[in-house]
Amino acid sequence: MNSLNKYFPISKKISIDKFISNALYDKNYGYYSKKIPFGKNGDFITSPEISSLFSEMIALWIVAFWEHLERPKIFNVVELGPGNGQMCSTLVKIFKKFPAFFNSTNIFLYEKSKVLENLQKKNLHPFKINWIKKFEKIKKGPVIFLGNEFFDAIPIKQFKKINNILYEKYLKLENNSKITTIFKKADSKTIIELKKYNLLKEQHFIEFPKQGLAELNLIVNTIKKLNGGLLLIDYGFLKQQSKNTLQSVKNHKRNMIFNHVGNADITSLVNFNLLDNYLRKKKLEVNNVVTQEFFLKKIGIINRAEMVSKKMNFKEKSDLYLRLQRLLNPKQMGELFKVISAFKFKKKFSLGFI
Ligand SMILES: C[S@@+](CC[C@H](N)C(=O)[O-])C[C@H]1O[C@@H](n2cnc3c(N)ncnc32)[C@H](O)[C@@H]1O
């Protein structure tokens, strides 16, 4: 079969979000079904692998949240899209330092890719961890959802406004080898949805994370049912700019998105303003979005770095601070990466946000 045929239906026409779904998550040919993308020898590197300080601070933030909830006897931590399990492994190591917390807590991982689920099982053995496909499996106790680079990996829809008429982006496979872009008039249900989130105002190119919001809806419903909250970290923007933000990454380099279909990651920038708007409409308590630099500094990453570096030699110390710099420097990940949190609990939990 021609290599691109695998990602298109028989009609050879497909909306951009369905195409990205196939390119990333097709059970046989999808990028996340074939390859381990993380690390130096992979295609990209994420914060938990840059420095364990990142996950350590998040672990401490979670323990503080549990304290804020007045130490519930049953508590649930759900990591969304845990990748190679690196963050979870560090979380467990820190959680163990707080026995009352550790003994009250169930850890769940929510992963779509079978290949990555198997890798997580290998890397996290013998920790007591549950893999879930449905949040209904969590029956009792408050829950905190946690996701690093979860949303950017969920396919988005794209639209164009011409003479005040909205068109949705579709792709067409020509001669079984060439992908071209076509636009179809958007249906009225979609237009109403985009208007609801104020996405059409002063914009001629619009991105909409329909699948992402469907996931968020499941998360919010679980928080509302069980009490708790969410913490999401990702790269993205606060002000929509009428821009196409889709990008493909292979071997740590950016590519045109059709260049290595099935063999490269495809991501988009997360619209944090939309997430904020969505969560407020769902009547959760939302902290204002902050940058990764702000959040990590506020929860004490510099102090922790000073503490752990005391016993290090010069080479180890330089390595630690170089990695920290990568997480915090506004020119690197400090500003592009943003953090949002939302809660059902009435007593607001603002640690890291003010
Ligand atoms: C960019 S990776 C981030 C991995 C990890 N959190 C990290 O920081 O290294 C995205 C992760 O989300 C998972 N994922 C994407 N969409 C998903 C979905 N709808 N449900 C569950 N997992 C999903 C991917 O398989 C992958 O594990």
Ligand 1 atom 16, closest CA: 154
Which ligand 1 atom is at minimum distance from the Cα of 49? 9
Instruction: Say what the pTM is.
Output: 0.97
Ligand 1 atom 25, closest CA: 113
| DSSP E strand boundaries for 124-238 | 130-132, 143-148, 157-162, 165-174, 178-185, 205-208, 228-237
In this predicted model, what pLDDT tens digit does every residue of 84-95 receive, in sequence order? 999 999 999 999
Indicate whether 301 pLDDT > 60. yes
| DSSP E strand boundaries for the chain | 13-15, 75-80, 105-110, 130-132, 143-148, 157-162, 165-174, 178-185, 205-208, 228-237, 247-250, 253-255, 265-267, 270-271, 285-291, 337-343
**What's the pLDDT at 44?**
94
Pocket-forming residues, ligand 1, beta carbon under 6 Å = 32, 38, 46, 48, 81-83, 87, 110-113, 116, 148-150, 153-154, 215
Mean pLDDT of the chain: 96
Indicate whether 340 pLDDT > 70. yes
**What's the pLDDT at 3?**
86
Indicate whether 200 pLDDT > 50. yes
In this predicted model, what pLDDT tens digit does every residue of 113-154 receive, in sequence order? 999 999 999 999 999 999 999 999 999 999 999 999 999 999
**What's the pLDDT at 329?**
98
Specify the higher pLDDT residue, 103 or 35.
103
**What's the pLDDT at 1?**
45
Domain assignments of the chain as residue spans, ordered by start: 45-156+211-343
**What's the pLDDT at 40?**
83
Pick the CATH number of 45-156+211-343 from 3.40.50.10800, 3.30.470.20, 3.30.429.10, 3.40.50.12710: 3.40.50.12710
Indicate whether 194 pLDDT > 70. yes
Q: What percent of the chain has pLDDT over 70?
A: 99
| For range 163-176, the mean pLDDT | 96
Candidate from 150, 216, 268 with most ligand 1 atoms within 8 A of CB, to mutate: 150
Ligand 1 atom 8, closest CA: 148
b/e map of 246-269 (b: 16 or more CB within 10 Å)? bbbbbeeeebebbebbbbbbbbbb
Residue 111 CA to ligand 1 center (angstroms) comes to: 6
**What's the pLDDT at 314?**
97
- Lowest mean pLDDT segment, chosen from 11-15, 246-250, 343-347: 343-347
- In the chain, what is the straight-line distance between the N-terminal and C-terminal CA atoms, in Å? 55
Residue 28 CA to ligand 1 center (angstroms) comes to: 17
**What's the pLDDT at 193?**
95
pLDDT band per the 50, 70, 90 thresholds, residue 7 = very high
In this predicted model, what pLDDT tens digit does every residue of 40-98 receive, in sequence order? 889 999 999 999 999 999 999 999 999 999 999 999 999 999 999 999 999 999 999 99
**What's the pLDDT at 204?**
96
Residues 65, 160: Cα–Cα separation, whole Å? 42
Residue 211 CA to ligand 1 center (angstroms) comes to: 13
